[in-house]
């Protein structure tokens, strides 16, 4: 046997190939590619991974999407168990119970609060039955400290010999009275129900539960007072007209859509934005649609770039000047246009620009929900069919038509708590935490194009509400307020135009009513 060959000096063995670990965002994009019809082999080549790895990720699809819906960082490379949804519901209910006690002058200490939270959690778990997946909840001192931080509760230590952590008094904004009730009998006797979005907990058999009602909660219909309160928030965010402003300060809106077949939709969205009070409206459309859209109105700035090989670069030049982007009116379903719209959405997200998505923009989201998932400056405005498509994409089940409120809230949560507006007989609006119902009177006439009026006006109101800040919206999500305002305005335009034209009413007639409708709703 001959001598072993010596390794030349200075030479190194080939480095071991490192195993690639994909983050959650990449996995969701991979799953979307599989859903679009691509084979596991093709997807594996795209990501430079084995076909078996692709199949393994596919098996874990449910867990991956649940992790994203639970607001896990998209850069995370490993799945983390999502927070128990029952616990979030219980914490919200407990907070409003504490608030109700404070308003009634009934001080509560940490022990009572912890006991209340545990009783509510146990009640929820019991209602789930034997198949419950909820874990045991002990309402520990550590949980209580985190609860206080999450809801910004101030705490005042009890002054006295036996002062301890369990004797802290929870109060909202100021010290609660020191005189604790001798026994919680009062609370035990006050039996009723707790109103908690999006469902009602029957608490007749649960001790120490008051009747609580959350502002803007889901009712069969809002009271006149509730509706007026929300209208006032919309009025708060509307910027006053003044001679000191320059052109562009009250809104520069971009509409992405318009192709050979559909030129009316982007026009209606853009002109509605101007009629509402935006200073400038831009339309990014295909080359053959541009002259047609431009001929409708000289007020619009029209860019024939949507089918250009350099769409991303062309639109990117304008994004720094725009306050809101509306994606979808007249977009169509051409693969090239959808891909270009996708690039615009990505660039808008990077810049933090609010994005309203309607019409065929929603078709794009239904194919690739990861494109918008978790971006809370996005507002989706689906009609019933578009909503059903999105819902089935996210949950692999059909919409429960008997509980639309819950379905809208669930979809918002699954998409990362962005704002969803389901248009219909009553417009249902949710950001995953609250649900508003706009039942402002419209008419029985449904003409094509009025959804574009909604998306264009929503683009303006979203900018105004976002700019105004939480102090003008009373701490409410500005996009909820904006959506409610846009829905109300669209319905008012519909009502006024129908009074004049009846069955022959068209969206052009509705657009002509924007000024008067706005004045009637928000300036009187």
Q: Label each residue of 465-502 as H, E or C.
A: HHHHCCCCCCCCCHHHHHHHHHHHHHHHHHHHHHHHHH
Could you tell me if 56 and 40 are in contact, meaning their C-beta atoms sit under 8 angstroms apart? Answer: no
Residue 136 is given by DSSP the state: P
Report whether 146 belongs to an annotated binding site. Answer: no
Report whether 391 belongs to an annotated binding site. Answer: no
Report whether 105 belongs to an annotated binding site. Answer: no
| Three-class secondary structure of residue 256 per DSSP | strand
Report whether 426 belongs to an annotated binding site. Answer: yes
Report whether 55 belongs to an annotated binding site. Answer: no
CB atoms within 10 A of CB 430: 30
Report whether 275 belongs to an annotated binding site. Answer: no
Tokens of 420: 């969803």
| Three-class secondary structure of residue 55 per DSSP | helix
Report whether 427 belongs to an annotated binding site. Answer: yes
Tokens of 72: 């896990």
Q: Could you give the CA distance from residue 270 to residue 329 in angstroms, rounded to a whole number?
A: 10
Report whether 446 belongs to an annotated binding site. Answer: yes
Report whether 383 belongs to an annotated binding site. Answer: yes
Q: Which of 406, 353, 392 is nearest to 376 (CA)?
A: 353
Could you tell me if 486 and 464 are in contact, meaning their C-beta atoms sit under 8 angstroms apart? Answer: no
Instruction: Evaluate the omega torsion of the peptide bond into residue 198 and state whether it is cis, within 30 degrees of 0.
Output: yes
Q: Could you give the CA distance from residue 450 to residue 410 in angstroms, rounded to a whole number?
A: 26
CB atoms within 10 A of CB 280: 20
Q: Could you give the CA distance from residue 393 to residue 371 in angstroms, rounded to a whole number?
A: 13
Report whether 386 belongs to an annotated binding site. Answer: yes
Report whether 142 belongs to an annotated binding site. Answer: no
Report whether 425 belongs to an annotated binding site. Answer: yes
Report whether 104 belongs to an annotated binding site. Answer: no
Report whether 160 belongs to an annotated binding site. Answer: no
Report whether 447 belongs to an annotated binding site. Answer: yes
Tokens of 185: 């009998």
Q: Could you give the CA distance from residue 312 to residue 284 in angstroms, rounded to a whole number?
A: 11
Report whether 423 belongs to an annotated binding site. Answer: yes
Q: Could you give the CA distance from residue 300 to residue 282 in angstroms, rounded to a whole number?
A: 6
Report whether 456 belongs to an annotated binding site. Answer: no
Q: Could you give the CA distance from residue 179 to residue 455 in angstroms, rounded to a whole number?
A: 54
| Three-class secondary structure of residue 514 per DSSP | helix
Report whether 503 belongs to an annotated binding site. Answer: no
- Is residue 61 packed enough to be buried (19+ CB in 10 Å), middle (13-18) or exposed (0-12)? middle
| Three-class secondary structure of residue 153 per DSSP | coil
Report whether 424 belongs to an annotated binding site. Answer: yes
Report whether 389 belongs to an annotated binding site. Answer: yes
Could you tell me if 358 and 451 are in contact, meaning their C-beta atoms sit under 8 angstroms apart? Answer: yes
Q: Label each residue of 22-53 as H, E or C.
A: CCHHHHHHHHHHHHCCCCHHHHHHHHCCCHHH
Report whether 297 belongs to an annotated binding site. Answer: no
Report whether 277 belongs to an annotated binding site. Answer: no
Q: Could you give the CA distance from residue 24 to residue 4 in angstroms, rounded to a whole number?
A: 48
As annotated, the binding site for ATP includes 423-427, 442-451
As annotated, the binding site for (6S)-NADPHX includes 330, 383-389, 452
As annotated, the binding site includes 330, 383-389, 423-427, 442-452
């Amino acid at each position: 046997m001959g001598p072993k060959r010596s390794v030349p000096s200075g030479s190194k063995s080939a480095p071991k190939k490192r195993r690639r670990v994909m983050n959650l965002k990449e996995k969701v994009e991979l799953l979307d590619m599989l859903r679009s019809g691509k084979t596991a082999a093709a997807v594996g080549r795209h990501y430079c991974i084995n076909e078996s790895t692709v199949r393994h990720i596919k098996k874990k699809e449910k867990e991956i999407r649940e992790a994203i819906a639970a607001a896990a960082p998209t850069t995370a490379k490993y799945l983390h168990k999502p927070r128990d949804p029952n616990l979030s519901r219980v914490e919200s209910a407990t907070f409003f119970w504490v608030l109700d006690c404070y308003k009634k002058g009934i001080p509560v200490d940490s022990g009572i609060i912890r006991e209340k939270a545990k009783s509510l959690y146990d009640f929820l778990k019991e209602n789930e039955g034997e198949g419950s997946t909820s874990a045991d909840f002990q309402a520990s001192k550590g949980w209580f400290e985190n609860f206080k931080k999450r809801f910004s509760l101030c705490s005042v230590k009890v002054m006295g010999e036996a002062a301890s952590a369990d004797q802290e008094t929870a109060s909202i904004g100021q010290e609660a009275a020191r005189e604790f009730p001798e026994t919680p009998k009062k609370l035990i006797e006050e039996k009723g129900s707790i109103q908690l979005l999006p469902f009602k907990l029957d608490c007749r058999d649960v001790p120490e539960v008051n009747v609580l009602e959350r502002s803007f909660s889901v009712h069969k219909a809002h009271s006149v007072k509730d509706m007026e309160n929300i209208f006032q928030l919309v009025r708060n965010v509307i910027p006053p007209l003044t001679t000191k402003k320059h052109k562009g300060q009250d809104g520069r809106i971009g509409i992405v859509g318009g192709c050979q077949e559909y030129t009316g939709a982007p026009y209606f969205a853009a002109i509605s934005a101007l009629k509402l009070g935006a200073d400038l409206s831009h339309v990014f459309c295909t080359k053959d649609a541009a002259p047609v859209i431009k001929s409708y109105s000289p007020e619009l700035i029209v860019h024939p770039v949507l089918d250009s090989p350099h769409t991303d670069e062309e639109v990117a030049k304008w994004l720094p000047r725009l306050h809101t982007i509306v994606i979808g009116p007249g977009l169509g379903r051409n693969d090239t246009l959808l891909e270009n719209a996708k690039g615009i959405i990505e660039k808008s997200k990077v810049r933090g620009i609010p994005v309203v998505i309607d019409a065929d923009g929603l078709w794009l989201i239904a194919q690739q929900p990861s494109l918008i998932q978790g971006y809370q400056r996005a507002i989706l405005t689906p009609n019933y069919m578009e909503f059903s498509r999105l819902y089935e994409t996210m949950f692999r089940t059909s919409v429960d038509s008997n509980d639309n409120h819950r379905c809208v809230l669930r979809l918002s949560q699954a998409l990362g708590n962005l704002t969803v507006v389901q248009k219909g007989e009553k417009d249902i609006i949710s950001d995953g935490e609250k649900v508003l119902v706009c039942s402002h009177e419209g008419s029985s006439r449904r003409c094509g194009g009025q959804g574009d009026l909604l998306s264009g006006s929503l683009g303006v109101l979203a900018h105004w509400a976002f700019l105004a800040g939480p102090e003008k919206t009373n701490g409410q999500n500005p996009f909820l307020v904006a959506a409610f305002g846009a829905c109300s305005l669209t319905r008012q335009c519909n009502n006024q135009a129908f009074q004049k034209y009846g069955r022959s009413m068209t969206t052009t007639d509705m657009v002509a009513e924007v000024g008067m409708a706005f004045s009637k709703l928000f300036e009187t």
